[in-house]
């Protein structure tokens, strides 16, 4: 009923919206990095996914932003990846060990590894992501202090490790431990409206993916490129920072980074991107 | 703050007379001199103020850089090469430091 009134009164406006719909679609371009690494930016969704096909946020960005990711020399996030490489090779803590002392060459030992995180961590009885894995190594093996959220080398080192999986399709194992129940919990959060604006993740990234909001082109909210280089911050932005930013924008209370809430959300949202290539460090606006 | 590090991308090979694209980037904070710290004191200016590129000793490209240029300045330009040789890139810092990089190109 409401719709027919709208059509009658604002026929012209509705027609204009419909005709611009094609313009609001993501582009179908393919991403090949350095003319060599062919990325999966569009693929069939995993079973049980609300969409038939999933797309990387890369396809939703402008031509100029997309170009920054095509040549790794132009990708500003690579500076931080290089910084991460430095940290990888630098000894820290009372044991006098660096990451490289145990793990050797990251291009071998960390190849494709990050595409399969978060994983189940039996010791802490919860899922573990790259950031927490780094902290575990630091405290248990290196005798170093755990990185505080987004502090020290956390973002650079995470980006460096994830970058070793560049191009590898995301796939996480939900059969490990209690991963499935964390996935369920994350799914519930994804669809729960929250905050003064009463928005759930799905309201933007599922119901309105491809539409414009606040001068921004809403993507599906995929996480395959994190930590991403955000032009807005002119720096790397970690996944949990982005989660918190989104939640802040709904004017809800923000859960702490690496809290149970956000770890469950990471498990679920990572699964929603199953099959997309790891793009770290992706470039977004 | 990341260390100052120049980096350059020059094609390894080219044919004589070809116009090649050269990309350069230096990681640098490019402190404009306009900002204040938490105590309200001005943060002194420190930027890369000059960039030059030479090919076999001949100037190819140069730029004077001013405080409005953002951190990690990226410069891309083209050059026509007629013989094999060496590109030399130089960045000059306000504090007097000079950073250089060299790249060889084989022209056939």
* All domains in chain A, ordered by first residue: 27-72+177-284 (1.10.760.10), 77-163 (1.10.760.10)
The verdict on a CB contact (< 8 Å) between A74 and B74 is yes
What domains, with CATH codes, occur in chain B?
Answer: 5-32+46-107 (2.60.40.10)
Chain A closest CA to B96's CA: distance in Å? 24
3 state SS of B16? coil
C-alpha torsion sign, points A124, A254, A151, A224: positive
For B9, the closest chain A residue by CA position comes to: A73
Of A71, A73, A79, the CB nearest to B72: A79
Contacts B27 to A, Cβ<8 Å = 79
- pLDDT at residue A24, as a whole number: 65
Contacts B23 to A, Cβ<8 Å = 71, 73-74
Q: Which residues of A touch B (CB under 8 A)?
A: 71, 73-74, 76, 79-80, 82-83, 234
Chain A closest CA to B84's CA: distance in Å? 24
> How many Cβ pairs closer than 8 A exist between chain A and B?
16
Can you state the angle between helices A77-88 and A154-163, rounded to 10 degrees?
100
Whole-Å CA distances, B75 to A17, B22, B52, B60, B85 = 40, 8, 11, 13, 21
Catalytic residue numbers of A, as ranges: 246
Burial string for A208-239 (b: 16+ CB within 10 Å, else e) reads ebeeeeeeebbbbbbbbbbbbbbeeeebbbbb
Residue B23, chain A, CB below 8 Å: the answer is yes
Residues of chain B with confidence (pLDDT) below 50: 1
Contacts A234 to B, Cβ<8 Å = 70-71
Rounded Cα distance, A285 and A229, in Å: 8
Rounded Cα distance, A284 and B20, in Å: 29
**A66 and A58 Cβ atoms separated by less than 8 Å:** yes
Contacts A81 to B, Cβ<8 Å = none
Task: List chain A pLDDT tens, one digit each, 285 residues.
Answer: 444 444 444 444 444 444 444 456 789 999 999 989 999 999 999 999 999 999 999 999 999 999 999 999 999 999 999 999 999 999 999 999 999 999 999 999 999 999 999 999 999 999 999 999 999 999 999 999 999 999 999 999 999 999 999 999 999 999 999 999 999 999 999 999 999 999 999 999 999 999 998 788 999 999 999 999 999 998 999 999 999 999 999 999 999 999 999 999 999 999 999 999 999 999 998
């Amino acid at each position: 009923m409401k719709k027919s009134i709208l059509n009658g009164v604002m026929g012209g406006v509705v027609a204009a919206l419909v005709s611009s719909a094609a313009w609001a679609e993501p582009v179908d371009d393919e991403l090949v990095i350095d003319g060599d690494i062919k990325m999966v930016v569009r693929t069939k969704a995993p079973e049980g996914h609300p969409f038939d096909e999933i797309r990387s946020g890369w396809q939703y960005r402008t031509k100029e932003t997309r170009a920054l990711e095509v040549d790794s020399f132009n990708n500003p996030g690579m500076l931080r990846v290089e910084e991460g490489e430095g940290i990888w090779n630098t000894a820290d803590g009372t044991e006098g060990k660096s990451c490289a002392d145990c793990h050797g060459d990251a291009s071998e030992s960390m190849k494709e590894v990050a595409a399969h995180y978060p994983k189940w961590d039996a010791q802490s009885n919860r899922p573990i992501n790259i950031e927490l894995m780094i902290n575990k190594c630091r405290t248990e093996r290196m005798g170093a202090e755990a990185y505080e959220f987004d502090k020290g080398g956390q973002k650079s080192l995470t980006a460096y490790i994830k970058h070793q999986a560049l191009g590898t399709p995301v796939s996480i194992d939900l059969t490990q431990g209690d991963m499935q129940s964390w996935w369920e919990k994350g799914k519930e959060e994804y669809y729960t409206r929250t905050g003064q604006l009463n928005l759930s993740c799905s309201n933007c990234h599922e119901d309105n993916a491809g539409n414009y909001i606040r001068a921004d082109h809403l993507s599906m909210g995929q996480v395959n490129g994190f930590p991403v280089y955000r032009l807005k911050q002119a720096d790397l932005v970690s996944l949990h920072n982005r989660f918190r930013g989104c939640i802040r924008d709904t004017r809800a209370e923000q859960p702490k980074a690496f809290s149970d809430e956000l770890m469950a959300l990471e498990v679920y949202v990572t699964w929603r991107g199953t099959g997309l290539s790891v793009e770290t460090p992706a470039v977004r606006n | 703050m990341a260390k100052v590090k120049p980096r350059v991308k020059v094609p390894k090979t080219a044919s004589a007379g070809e116009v090649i694209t050269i990309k350069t980037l230096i990681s640098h904070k490019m402190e404009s001199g306009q900002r204040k710290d938490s105590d309200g004191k001005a943060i002194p200016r420190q930027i890369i103020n000059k960039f030059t590129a030479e090919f076999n000793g001949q100037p190819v490209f140069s730029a004077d850089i001013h405080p409005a240029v953002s951190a990690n300045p990226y410069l891309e330009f083209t050059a026509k090469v007629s013989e094999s040789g060496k590109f030399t890139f130089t960045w000059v810092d306000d504090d007097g430091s000079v950073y250089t990089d060299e790249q060889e190109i084989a022209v056939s």
